[in-house]
Structure 1
Amino acid sequence: MKLAALVALGVFLLDQASKFAVVHGLELDRVRGIDVWPPFLNFRMAWNQGINFGLFSGQDELTRWALIVISLIISAWVWIWAKREADRPLVQISTGLLIGGALGNVIDRLIYGAVADFLNMSCCGFSNPYSFNVADITIFAGAIGLVLFSGGSPRGEAKKP
């Protein structure tokens, strides 16, 4: 589980550094938008009080704290679950990606009251109305990795009849 912890720490630090640089360094919370590589990559500030695409967003503190608690419970459950496949590096990396991203978004909720989303990708005449962040990318990648790489026989072992 050392690999999972190192990946989680790296993701967490990268996520928080990117948010700090964009929100405070570039003052995106004030300027609201910066075209980085139009039309493909833009910074568009969005404070997400809910989950993906703003689902379950609300202004009340109950929603905020419920999402913090749910994120922590899911992170703890994934950590415990992944321990049974500690001999699989891809499962450990996926675990670290998911947990590091989840904890990055938890810190946002604690500090800002909402998750700082700023990456916006559009293309070919389609203007994407949604923004996301590094944590969102790693949570998605980690979840996909856990689906793809967990279960079955451990690395190097044949299935027993």
Structure 2
Amino acid sequence: MLRHWFWGPYSPLGLIVALLTLIADQGNKVWMIYVYDIGTKQPVRLTPFFDLILVWNKGISYGMLQQDDPMGRLALVAFAVVVSLALIFWLARVTTALTAISIGLIVGGAAGNAIDRAIYGAVADFFSLHAFGFQWYIFNIADVAIVAGVIGLLYDSLFGGHKKAGNPSKM
């Protein structure tokens, strides 16, 4: 009975996606910080609109809710863990592969950023897109995964077809 609460037909798919996302994110961060040593080479201009740069984000998206206090950082880590557990709980009930993949992307990305907060006290961001004087926020693979996961959930909920309205001719 307890297994039903935490395991469903799409759980393996979602958890594999989460694990692969986490490995890609953490692997990229280790390589950028310790192997490539981006901190001593930055900024690295790759194209006229894309640079590599190391920024330590002590907050959440767009640098909001900056946390210099250890308790604040711990609260952000705890929040990521609680959200990830809730998403894994949801994963046990999903009915489409797209929803499972989307949840896996979000869980893997949240875990990657939570690991950064726990180890470094901040999230390592590297990718900077800019054009025509406009600078988007600096992000990492975990951020891309979270955004892609949210887009997948929105797409599946709007166009997935698993929630059909009743046939008006039968009403």
What TM-score do the two structures reach when normalised by structure 2? 0.83
Q: Contact between 1:101 and 1:134, CA under 8 Å: does it hold in 2?
A: yes
What one-letter code is carried by the residue in structure 1 that aligns with 2:34?
Answer: H
Letter in 2 for 1:139: I
Structure of larger gyration radius: 2
Number of residues of Structure 1 aligned to a counterpart in Structure 2: 156
Q: 1:72 aligns with which of 65, 81, 95?
A: 81
Contact 1:3 1:89 in 2 (8 A): yes
The one of 32, 36, 44 equivalent to 1:26 is 36
- The CA deviation at 1:130 is 2.8
Per-residue displacement from partner, 1:88-147 (whole Å, max 9, x unpaired)? Answer: 100010011000000000111111110000100112x22416311000011111112122
Q: 1:43 aligns to what?
A: 52
Residue 14 of structure 1: aligned partner: 24
Unaligned runs of 5+ in 1: none
Cα-to-partner distance string for 1:17-60 (whole Å, 9 max, x where unaligned): 111111111212233321122x2211111100110011001211
> Displacement of 1:10 after TM fit?
0.7
Given candidates 38, 61, 71, the residue that maps to 1:62 is: 71
User: Identity percentage over the alignment?
Assistant: 35
Contact between 1:4 and 1:93, CA under 8 Å: does it hold in 2?
Answer: yes
Q: What pairs up with 1:111-150 in 2 under 5 angstroms?
A: 111-123=119-131, 125-128=132-135, 130-150=137-157
Code of the residue aligned with 1:91 in structure 2: it is T
Once the two structures are TM-superposed, the CA of residue 84 in structure 1 deviates from its matched residue by 1.4
Matched to 1:28, the amino acid is I
Q: Which runs of 5+ in 2 are unaligned?
A: 1-10
Identify which of 97, 102, 110 aligns with 1:94: 102
Judge conservation of contact 1:153–1:159 (CA < 8 Å) in 2. no
CA RMSD after TM alignment: 2.0
TM-score with structure 1 setting the length? 0.88
CA distance in 2 between counterparts of 1:35 and 1:158 reads: 48
Partner of 1:43, secondary structure, is: strand
Instruction: Quote the Cα distance in structure 2 between the aligned partners of 1:73 and 1:12.
Output: 17
Match of 2:61 in 1: 52
